[in-house]
Amino acid sequence: MPEQPGDYCGPVTGYTGDKPAVFFLKPHARNPETPPRGKSVQHVVSPPHVFTEEDDGTLTISASIADTAGASTESDGWHGFLERGIWRQV
């Protein structure tokens, strides 16, 4: 499981039924001002996300990774992309 901000693992199956999932800690997870939900390990599933394992072993996730989850409107403080293993905030 991810331990440090920016860590990710997956895709793995079994946690979300037959949908592959990627688990991660967003880059701001250990910042003091990060809301509580943003400090937790989060995940996205495919579909709706698309996971591309790059030739160099890194991962790209599309579309963007939102700052809210499910029906919640509470922001975790970070919205962006994982592209070739690099986090980019929008």
Does the pLDDT of residue 4 top 80, yes or no? yes
CA angle at 52 for the pair 10 and 89, rounded to the nearest 5°: 85
Residue 65 is assigned to a structural domain of this protein: yes
- DSSP readout, 21-52? EEEE--TTTT-TTS-GGGGS-EEEETTTSEEE
Residue 73 pLDDT: 85
What is the span of the domain harbouring residue 63? 8-89
**Structural domains of the chain, count:** 1
pLDDT confidence of residue 90: 95
26-79 pLDDT, tens digit per residue, is: 999 999 999 999 999 999 999 999 999 999 999 999 999 999 987 778 899 999
- pTM comes to 0.94
**For residue 12, is pLDDT > 90?**
yes
Average pLDDT over residues 4-25: 97
**Residue 68 placed within a domain:** yes
